[in-house]
Chains A and B, each alone.
Chain A
Amino acid sequence: RKEVEQDPGPFNVPEGATVAFNCTYSNSASQSFFWYRQDCRKEPKLLMSVYSSGNEDGRFTAQLNRASQYISLLIRDSKLSDSATYLCVVNALNRDDKIIFGKGTRLHILP
């Protein structure tokens, strides 16, 4: 199993729809989790942190499932401006101090 896996997509979703994607991780010692957004030819930017209790920010909801070792991102009422690549990040804060970025999921919102 790869350390961090994401469906590369692309997800082609009509404007206004709800879309969700997951990110699975293999290291059960992983302690912190994030979703980043990356626009074409730009740097990644933090979208939201993922807490054990879940996290909601407007139309975006992130959740952590430790038992099944995955994090999820839900986008409601999608906008054209949500088109981007979404990267999950998993930090394993053990002696290896590993920071692993997923390869990203491409999202296209269709008008």
Chain B
Amino acid sequence: NAGVTQTPKFRVLKTGQSMTLLCAQDMNHEYMYWYRQDPGMGLRLIHYSVGEGTTAKGEVPDGYNVSRLKKQNFLLGLESAAPSQTSVYFCASSYLLANEQFFGPGTRLTVL
């Protein structure tokens, strides 16, 4: 089992460009999450999903959109990237909200 995988691992964007980060899990988990991690800020929840076809806002959703068309995939979109979105993005999944979360290796995004 691969667990949780993220694509791409690194990306550099110019301000105003768009991109999609892909997260995939092979553990049949219902819950999936997108976090960003910045120095001194800890992990902050962007959006999450409680099942296929559902999404919900987390703590810092502005500037991001998500989709969960298939249970195993959770996509995070940036429509118009801004330098403030320079961060490390982690995807995670869990069987239930109360359970352990399994994290992907992260995507390091730089917006110039």
Residues of A within 8 A of B (CB): 31-32, 34, 42-46, 49, 87, 89, 91, 93, 97, 99, 101-104
Chain B residues near A91 (CB, 8 Å)? 97-98
Residue from the list A32, A43, A101 in contact with B105, Cβ < 8 A: A43
Q: Which residues B21-62 have CB closer than 8 A to chain A?
A: 33, 35, 40-45, 48
In the docked arrangement, what's the CA distance between A45 and B92, Å?
Answer: 10
- B106 → chain A closest CB, angstroms: 6
Residues of B within 8 A of A (CB): 33, 35, 40-45, 48, 90, 97-106
If A49-B100, A91-B97, A97-B97 touch, does A44 touch B90 (CB 8 Å cutoff)? Answer: yes
- B2 → chain A closest CB, angstroms: 14
The answer to whether B42 touches A87, judged by C-beta atoms less than 8 angstroms apart, is yes
The answer to whether A43 touches B97, judged by C-beta atoms less than 8 angstroms apart, is no
- A87 → chain B closest CB, angstroms: 7
The answer to whether B97 touches A44, judged by C-beta atoms less than 8 angstroms apart, is no
